[in-house]
Structure 1
Amino acid sequence: MQIFATEQIRAWDEYTIRHEPITSVDLMERAATACYEWLLQNNYKDHSFAIYCGKGNNGGDGLVIARLLAQSNHKVTVHILEFGHKGTEDFQINLARLHETNTDIRFISSEENLHSIPAKAVVIDALLGSGINRPADGLTASLIKHINNSGNEVIAIDIPSGLFVDHSARGNIVVKAQNTLSFQCFKPAFLMPENAEHIGQVHLLDIGLHPGFLKIQDSPFELVDQAMVGHIITPRKPFSHKGDYGHAAIVAGSYGMMGAAVLCARACLRSGVGKLTCHIPASGYTIMQTSVPEAMCKTGEETHPAQEMDKYDTIAIGPGLGSHAGNSNLLQSVFEQNRRPMVIDADGLNTLAGDKMLLKKVPPQSILTPHPKEFERLFGKTANDYERIQTALQKAAEHNLYLVLKGRYTFIAAPDGKGYFNSSGNPGMATGGTGDVLTGIIAGLLAQKHPPLHAAIAGVFLHGRSGDLAAAYSSQFSLIATDLIDFLGQAYQSI
């Protein structure tokens, strides 16, 4: 699914108006009707509503919602932000239609008109929409504060007022909604952690925008979903053997942190790799042979053996490696012996951060899987989530690497400048070891000859889907990393 910014969304509307064809006011009616139907389907039948409208098309949506609610005998009060000028043409048409109902319409021209909101009324935010390019100020800012301080439930239409679609609104005065009803596709703002307290739960409503637009409009971002991954993961051939599914190596573990190596190894095997060899310290030999009997082991006395590394289809390096002085030499030796794309995580990333020259020696097209702090150590601090995304894209291109920036909507930055947000997963996965599982899954897919981009996309989605299935079985609260491995088979079956 493509992710569009403001201008692309506006262009999609215009394309639909021309090619369906449909008038803009009728398209507004369609969008607002979808919101109205969502309200009826989600237990708002017996509520009263306070609807706040600007005089743009977002406000026009609010007026249509108000009319539909009034016509179905809901108590509705409409508050229109008044600056002494007419609204858009579609807004004015719908204001005239609303006057034909018994809706209470009030105009807010000063702070003296900011009357208290009835305690049980649901607030509908249709003030600003997605077209704004500067922070809310003056009376608009005062009204947003008034809504936020009311304590009422707030539902935003299109996007919470004051929030920018495709750049940071940090420090802005923004409506805090519990639910956001948006249209057709995700907006970048919905995928940024810094906006979580404003957007609440996002609900995408299909309003029938013309599908032909998607064939002519590219987007810098896409949402990884089941359909995309379904094209990557294909059935196995009946006469295949283990040699067809690759030989992966894992360089991982240290005294006291062998659990990370075990999780990575088990996940790699569950992802479908043909053979797996674990390069671990001697102190972890019994643990690995007992916990993962399907894997072969190579050990060193104090460190990880790094000989004959060129024979592997891919290598995952880092989980539980520890912060040892010899890690730089270990990584350099691995990089020199094997130039195929590999997966680098955890202490492998910390080693790169401590020796920036080593970053230039990483095999091209490799996949790095940092969490935000590891990303910061590698590439420096960023001012906000949008800047972090842009930095990831820049660094992926600069170093010819794939960067998997882990989070609620894990972001994959590709070296060609395109970015992918993952749609699966849940907060229960915020627990130790789940990153090691992700490393193992991606390594297993790489070893099976999937291109690095496909391995990253499918690996991240399967990882999240496993977490969703595990949480549904028990709960988000009780989720642990091992659960993801146990549900990986069901994740495959689901796609």
Structure 2
Amino acid sequence: MKIFPSSSIKRLDAYTIENEPIASIDLMERAAKALTKAIAQRWDTEIPVTVFAGPGNNGGDALAVARMMAEKGYEVEVFLFNTKGELSPDCQTNKELVEMMEEVKFHEISTQFVPPTLTSRHLVIDGLFGSGLNKPLSGGFAAVVKYINSSPATILSIDVPSGLMCEENTFNVKAHIIHADVTFSLQFPKLAFLFAENTEFVGEWDILDIQLSQKGIEETETNYEMLEVEEIRSLIKPRKQFAHKGNFGHALLIAGSKGMGGASVLAARACLRSGVGLLTVHAPFCNNDILQTSIPEAIVENDTNDTCFAIPTDTDDYQAVGIGPGLGRSSETEAALLEQLEHCQSPVVLDADALNILANHHHTLTHLPKGSILTPHPKELERLVGKCQDSYERLMKACELARTAKVHIILKGAYSAIIAPEGKCYFNPTGNPGMATGGSGDVLTGVVLALLAQGYSAEEAAKIGTYIHGLAGDFAQKKQGMIGLIASDIISCLPTAWRLVSE
């Protein structure tokens, strides 16, 4: 599913109007019907509805919804803010239609606004400003937003919470943004919905299909997409009848240190559960017994150092290399990592302490093997690119790093972003907060390593691995609940996730 910037959404509306063809007022009517249906499915006619409409097309949507809800028997009161005496043509049309309805208590605000009483029983429909907003709200509109937010009413925003911009909100005034409980986005999610700091404004969000032109959507380019199961399924290679383990790659995992053997176990088990033909784990000697006992399917190669990774190993016989889980940051490990990367020709998955070490060696970052993948969480990314004010800036800096280092980046978190060197970003919808637990990232490293070793491209491995990792976490959450979920639960659910997607 594509995610468009606000400028492209306006062009898609125009394309649909011209090529369907359909009058703009009829397209607004179609959107209002979808909104009214979704609202009626959640709230019955016993709840009083107060609609706040702005002077543009978002306000026109809100007025059309008010009319349709009144026709369904809801008690509706409308406040249309027309302080400049200028309404969009479609908003004007819907204003006239609402004014004719005796069932609707209608107020047009041109100067003084006397706020209504809003109780916990009320549903507020926010239609003040939509996706066209490009600067923070101020003055009277900011005051209205503050009043709505201070009420105990349930707040539903149409398309986007008023005051929230669709992409960047770094310099927005947070006190002047609606705090929606629910947001019904029209046709597409907005990029801003995927950023952690905007959750308080967006609340629960859902997408309503208003049937914008499918041809227009296909022809319009965007750098942002949401992964979907059909795409992931299409990427997975079927296994042939006479396949053998040599067909599915030999992966090398360099992981673990004294006291951190568990990280190497988690990554190795996840790799083996993700289809790799053979796996060798290079680890300090102190972890030998742990690995041999916990993962009998893996080959263990001991480092000469007893407690950490200190001696680079030959990677010529491996199709992919994973480095980082539980690695530690000793001086011996730092030197060994830099030497290992200097001579490695196979694609590398870098995670955890490998990334933390490279934060001090930016030259190495730009000379990684072709097809390599970085898997940082936000703090690890900031060690590589510097402090970020918010998620939007973090995403932009991650895109720049992917471009300059010519690597793919999996920026981990809710809606993990897979970032390609050319600037494309794919957001992952699977996963849940129960996965915010130690070892979850090690599992992802193992899954992605297995895919690279099997011959998937870096982009394919990052997309499939992130989606499957999150899906396995969702299955684990259903079995164990969020609070009780641990990384091993994700691994145990990997076969179920693979079966669902590949079969």
Report the TM-score when normalising by structure 2: 0.96
2:479 aligned partner: 473
The Cα shift of 1:112 comes to 4.8
The answer to whether the Cα contact below 8 Å between 1:332 and 1:358 also exists between their aligned partners in 2 is: yes
Local SS of the residue matching 2:316: helix
The answer to whether the Cα contact below 8 Å between 1:58 and 1:157 also exists between their aligned partners in 2 is: yes
The Cα shift of 1:473 comes to 2.1
Distance in 1 (CA, whole Å) between partners of 2:237 and 2:249 is 16
Could you say if the C-alpha distance between residues 89 and 112 of structure 1 is closer, same or farther in structure 2, counting changes exceeding 3 Å?
Answer: closer
Distance in 2 (CA, whole Å) between partners of 1:129 and 1:360 is 41
Distance in 1 (CA, whole Å) between partners of 2:173 and 2:271 is 43
Pair 1:137-2:143 in alignment: no
1:310-361: CA deviations, max 9, x gaps? 2110110000011211122211222133222110000000110133333233
The answer to whether the Cα contact below 8 Å between 1:111 and 1:142 also exists between their aligned partners in 2 is: no
The Cα shift of 1:100 comes to 2.2
Distance in 2 (CA, whole Å) between partners of 1:404 and 1:290 is 31
The answer to whether the Cα contact below 8 Å between 2:367 and 2:405 also exists between their aligned partners in 1 is: no
Which one of the candidate residues 212, 235, 240 is aligned to 1:232? Answer: 235
How is 1:61-140 mapped onto 2 (pairs within 5 angstroms)? 61-101=61-101, 102-110=103-111, 112-140=113-141
1:11 aligned partner: 11
The answer to whether the Cα contact below 8 Å between 1:110 and 1:139 also exists between their aligned partners in 2 is: no
The Cα shift of 1:474 comes to 2.5
How is 1:312-323 mapped onto 2 (pairs within 5 angstroms)? 312-323=318-329
2:221 aligned partner: 218
Distance in 1 (CA, whole Å) between partners of 2:356 and 2:383 is 7
Pair 1:158-2:155 in alignment: no
* Bigger Cα displacement from structure 2, 161-170 vs 61-70: 161-170
Distance in 2 (CA, whole Å) between partners of 1:487 and 1:111 is 59
1:245 aligned partner: 248
Distance in 1 (CA, whole Å) between partners of 2:207 and 2:488 is 32
1:267 aligned partner: 270
Distance in 2 (CA, whole Å) between partners of 1:350 and 1:134 is 37
The answer to whether the Cα contact below 8 Å between 2:119 and 2:152 also exists between their aligned partners in 1 is: no
Local SS of the residue matching 1:248: strand
* Bigger Cα displacement from structure 2, 227-236 vs 42-51: 42-51
Distance in 1 (CA, whole Å) between partners of 2:454 and 2:234 is 15
1:204 aligned partner: 207
2:287 aligned partner: 284
2:449 aligned partner: 443
1:176-230: CA deviations, max 9, x gaps? 0011001111211111112110001110011111100123111111111212111
The answer to whether the Cα contact below 8 Å between 2:45 and 2:73 also exists between their aligned partners in 1 is: no
Local SS of the residue matching 1:276: strand
The answer to whether the Cα contact below 8 Å between 2:252 and 2:279 also exists between their aligned partners in 1 is: yes
Pair 1:377-2:386 in alignment: no
The answer to whether the Cα contact below 8 Å between 1:28 and 1:60 also exists between their aligned partners in 2 is: yes
The Cα shift of 1:82 comes to 2.7
Pair 1:491-2:492 in alignment: no
Distance in 1 (CA, whole Å) between partners of 2:56 and 2:91 is 6
2:420 aligned partner: 414
The answer to whether the Cα contact below 8 Å between 2:61 and 2:127 also exists between their aligned partners in 1 is: yes
The answer to whether the Cα contact below 8 Å between 1:35 and 1:205 also exists between their aligned partners in 2 is: yes
* Bigger Cα displacement from structure 2, 235-244 vs 331-340: 331-340
Amino acid at match of 1:290: T
Percent identity over the alignment is: 41
The Cα shift of 1:363 comes to 1.6
1:377-412: CA deviations, max 9, x gaps? 111112221111111111111111111111101111
Which one of the candidate residues 398, 403, 408 is aligned to 1:397? Answer: 403
Distance in 1 (CA, whole Å) between partners of 2:218 and 2:130 is 26
Amino acid at match of 1:279: H
Distance in 2 (CA, whole Å) between partners of 1:214 and 1:320 is 44
* Bigger Cα displacement from structure 2, 39-48 vs 52-61: 39-48
Distance in 1 (CA, whole Å) between partners of 2:487 and 2:277 is 23
Distance in 2 (CA, whole Å) between partners of 1:337 and 1:288 is 26
Amino acid at match of 1:280: A
Distance in 1 (CA, whole Å) between partners of 2:31 and 2:476 is 36
The Cα shift of 1:447 comes to 0.3
The Cα shift of 1:107 comes to 2.9
1:325 aligned partner: 331
* Bigger Cα displacement from structure 2, 385-394 vs 457-466: 385-394
The Cα shift of 1:44 comes to 3.5
* Bigger Cα displacement from structure 2, 82-91 vs 263-272: 82-91
The answer to whether the Cα contact below 8 Å between 1:328 and 1:355 also exists between their aligned partners in 2 is: no
Amino acid at match of 2:183: T
Distance in 2 (CA, whole Å) between partners of 1:308 and 1:37 is 62
The Cα shift of 1:110 comes to 4.7
Amino acid at match of 1:484: I
The Cα shift of 1:39 comes to 1.3
Local SS of the residue matching 1:460: helix
Local SS of the residue matching 1:116: coil
Distance in 2 (CA, whole Å) between partners of 1:296 and 1:144 is 61
In structure 2, stretches of 5+ residues that fail to align are none
The Cα shift of 1:111 comes to 5.9
Local SS of the residue matching 1:21: coil
**RMSD of equivalent CA atoms:** 1.3
